[in-house]
Amino acid sequence: MIDPVLPGADSARTPPPAPVRLSYRDAVREALRAALRADPRVFLMGEDVGRYGGSYAVSKGLLEEFGPERIRDTPLSESAFVGAGIGAALGGLRPIVEIMTVNFSLLALDQIMNNAASYCHMSGGQLAVGLVIRLATGAGRQLAAQHSHSLEGWYAHIPGLRIVVPATIDDARFMLAAALACPDPVLLFEHAALYNAEGDLTPGLAAVDIDHAAVRRPGHDATVITYGGSLPKCLAAAASLAAGGIEVEVLDLRTLRPLDDAAIVASVRRTRRAVIVDEGWRSGSLAAEVTTRIVEQAFYDLEAPVERVCTAEVPIPYAKHLEDAALPSPERIVDAVRRVVGGDGSG
Amino acid sequence: MNAPAAGPAGREHGLALLRGMLRIRAFEDRCYQLYGERKIRGFLHLYNGEEAVAVGAMRALDAGDAIVATYREHGHALARGVPMDRVMAELYGKQSGCSRGRGGSMHLFDVAKRFYGGNAIVAAGLPVAVGLALAQKLRREPAITACFFGDGAVAEGEFHESLNLAALWRLPVLFLCENNRYAMGTALDRTEAETDIAAKARGYRIDAAAVDGMDVFAVEAAVGRAAAAIRGGAGPALLELRTYRFRAHSMFDPQLYRDKSEVEAWQRKGPLITLTTRLKAEGLITEDDFRRLEAEASAEVDAAVAFAESAPWEPVADLARFVYAERSA
Ligand SMILES: Cc1ncc(C[n+]2csc(CCOP(=O)(O)OP(=O)(O)O)c2C)c(N)n1
Ligand SMILES: [Mg+2]
């Protein structure tokens, strides 16, 4: 229905395609629909993906279109259905397993780490687990300690997994296909606060990669490195800094494992200053890893210590004022940028 | 379900149960309204329709028994005696809340009442209940642990592991499965090959029965019998309490998975109507009694809201408190 117009269409007669505006949720749904249409081996399974329509309404309508064999509701048995996804992948299917939220992925952690991430290596390369796991992630909706985790950085610790984090409408629409084309287990994290975000699909775009970071806003005074649900906060911070004459470059990592070192280092070499924004807890965070890589590879290019804006090290509290205080915010990002650019921040 | 018929032991008994259920209903209805007013945020799971389970069960348990509940636990907290104003303040995220605003609707705690909370991970309470019961057994306490969970939890490994452990070690734990027929949008027969939950428990050599969870007397009697047996050293038991949730799963549920007519049919045999009709028919209460209790419940909710409205916020400076236990020197 909103499949993008492919490049090379008859451009002499037709005007350039108008951008299609849609929500992040709709973009993910279109990605699922396109994947299900493109390959009969693809199926979706998870809790309430079918009759309920998906707990974030992402899969709404898919059961009616593709039927219960390919849109499979599962019992509340995370370990079993993730493990079954692994087995189905080994058996020649292309499963997309939805774990309702990353919080519940902890019940399937054994399957994800000990099986999905390990089979290829421990079988001496005989097995490949071509499985995509989609998970909602993140805090910010007053869901308290058991429903607000940001564990994508934590999963990025595990060799054998690929961790991808769509932050834009284009990535929400096209990263899934790239993940399905990958022979390895890919965990695809959708920040729950992004589902309602709307944006334009880039006209003519038909595919994206899951290998490279992307500059979302060019700048020269500092690099703000982020991913997922923190990207809009960083762009808001960048806009307000620009009003004060500070131009930051915003780098969207897109893939947390493997990290795109080259893009990180290239940007930091240009700007000589870095702020990492990561909704994970600070200690042992993805932000710590990115910081280390900058220090290892661009230490002599730095004009200031690297700053991190992470989540306070506390299980996320329910009360709004406490939750807000715990999470990265545009204000905290602005403050961190001002610190790295020095002095009063006037450049 | 071949339990002896249970009924009111007199006017006071009937009034007490009715009062308990009306308090919960009034509280939940106000929560629904307050969510619309954005006073309550996050996930909110209401207990309308299931009041007979919490009220009947709590009445049959002792004050020293430990309770473990789920994220749909306002009713359990209130029936257990957690003060309503502290519960409401928690839903407001205030410092005076029973979890100091850290937990919200899904994480009500009150250790003084031995209420070990609101757990928002399905089935995660069961192993904890097993551990509480292990402590009770090893410490030779007369208390038992009652663990509430939904029908959806039965599919989780933790359900099976916990039942086995409790049976193997003959622990004083009472598993109370609130079978409201749905886990979010998924009906039990779409997730279980064997839908007889009591039969599953028997597979672990656990004494189990199904109970009409819409009948508060049946619940009270069944829990009372099971608790007495457990206290007597019989080992764990499970009761499947058959009930129905009148409202949506949470505030974000369009209820595509069930018909209005199904909900209405259950509402007609709802626990409050059933109880009130019976108490009146047996001449134990009058319509005036009912109105008075309803007014009292509504006044208590008003007072709880007023308390929550004026309660202080936790200072932001205390954000990182309680990540670790605060030990007095
Ligand atoms: C381990 C886990 N998986 C999924 C969820 C999401 N979820 C929350 S409530 C719920 C339904 C649980 O149903 P049931 O146990 O029957 O309890 P009810 O809501 O009917 O009281 C689900 C799937 C969760 N909280 N925890
Ligand atoms: Mg249920």
Q: What does the alpha-carbon distance between residue A288 and residue A73 come to, in Å, rounded to a whole number?
A: 38
Answer whether B319 touches A (CB < 8 Å): yes
pLDDT higher than 80, residue A12 = no
Distance A260 CA to ligand 2 centre (A): 44
pLDDT higher than 90, residue A14 = no
Write the residue in A147, A318, A325 that is nearest to B101 by C-beta: A318
The confidence band for A346, taking pLDDT boundaries of 50, 70 and 90, is very low
pLDDT higher than 70, residue A15 = no
**Pairwise pLDDT comparison (A31 vs A12), residue with the higher score:** A31
pLDDT higher than 70, residue A347 = no
Mean pLDDT throughout A304-320? Answer: 98
Of A214, A74, A156, A51, give the one whose Cα is nearest residue B257. A51
Say which amino acid occupies A329. Answer: S
The CATH fold of domain A21-201: Rossmann fold (3.40.50)
Of B56, B48, B16, B15, give the one whose Cα is nearest residue B30. B48
Q: What does the alpha-carbon distance between residue B28 and residue B26 come to, in Å, rounded to a whole number?
A: 6
Residue B32 located in a structural domain: yes
Residue B323 located in a structural domain: no
pLDDT at A5: 41
The answer to whether A76 and B156 have CB atoms below 8 angstroms apart is yes
pLDDT at B199: 96
The CATH number of the domain where B95 resides is what?
3.40.50.970
Predicted TM-score of the model (pTM): 0.95
Count of domains forming chain B: 1
Do the chains contact at B257 and A73, CB–CB below 8 Å?
A: no
Torsion angle, alpha carbons of A226, A229, A231, A234, to 10: -90
pLDDT digits (tens, 9 = 90+) for A80-136: 999 999 999 999 999 999 999 999 999 999 999 999 999 999 999 999 999 999 999
Residue B100 located in a structural domain: yes
Of A146, A149, A315, give the one whose Cα is nearest residue B105. A146
For residue B128, the Cα-to-chain-centroid distance in whole angstroms is 16
pLDDT digits (tens, 9 = 90+) for A203-224: 999 999 999 999 999 999 999 9
Mean pLDDT throughout A223-244? Answer: 98
Tokens of B118: 């609101």
Instruction: Name which CATH class applies to A214-341.
Output: alpha beta
Report ipTM for this prediction. 0.96
Mean pLDDT throughout A160-176? Answer: 98
Distance A71 CA to ligand 2 centre (A): 22
Q: Give Cβ neighbours of residue A120 (< 8 Å, ≥ 6 apart).
A: A127, A128, A129, A160, A184
Answer whether B69 touches A (CB < 8 Å): no
The binding-site residues of ligand 1, defined as CB within 6 angstroms of any ligand atom, are: A 47, 76, 78, 100, 104, 107; B 72, 120-122, 150-153, 178, 180, 182-184, 245, 249
Q: What does the alpha-carbon distance between residue B211 and residue B2 come to, in Å, rounded to a whole number?
A: 9
For residue B232, the Cα-to-chain-centroid distance in whole angstroms is 24
Place of tokens 């303040």: B89
pLDDT digits (tens, 9 = 90+) for A237-257: 999 999 999 999 999 999 999
Write the residue in B43, B156, B257 that is nearest to A51 by C-beta: B257
Tokens of A25: 């949720």
Q: Phi and psi dihedrals of A291, rounded to 5?
A: -55, -45
pLDDT at A293: 98
Tokens of A230: 């923190």
Q: Give Cβ neighbours of residue A216 (< 8 Å, ≥ 6 apart).
A: A168, A231, A234, A235, A250, A251, A252
Q: Phi and psi dihedrals of B56, rounded to 5?
A: -65, -45
Distances in Å between the Cα of A236 and the Cα atoms of A9, A232, A332 are 36, 6, 11
Answer whether B42 touches A (CB < 8 Å): yes
Do the chains contact at B152 and A76, CB–CB below 8 Å?
A: yes
The confidence band for A18, taking pLDDT boundaries of 50, 70 and 90, is confident
Q: What does the alpha-carbon distance between residue B158 and residue B126 come to, in Å, rounded to a whole number?
A: 7
Give the residue ranges of DSSP H helices in A91-209: 102-105, 109-110, 119-122, 152-155, 169-181
Structural domain range at position B266: 11-311
Residue boundaries of the structural domains of chain A: 21-201, 214-341
Tokens of B56: 């009947």
Of A64, A134, A73, give the one whose Cα is nearest residue A104. A134
Residue B174 located in a structural domain: yes
Say which amino acid occupies B86. Answer: R
pLDDT at A109: 98
pLDDT higher than 60, residue A345 = no
Residue B2 located in a structural domain: no
pLDDT higher than 80, residue A8 = no
Do the domains spanning A21-201 and A214-341 agree at the CATH topology level?
Answer: yes
Residue B101 located in a structural domain: yes
How many alpha carbons fall within 13 Å on the CB side of residue A347? 8
Q: Is the peptide bond before A68 cis (omega within 30 degrees of 0)?
A: no
Which residues in chain B land under pLDDT 70? 1-4, 329
Residue B316 located in a structural domain: no
Residue B320 located in a structural domain: no
Interface of B with A in 6-35 (CB under 8 A): none
pLDDT higher than 60, residue A6 = no
pLDDT at A4: 41
Write the residue in A78, A143, A322 that is nearest to B319 by C-beta: A322
Distance from CA of B290 to the nearest CA of A (A): 36
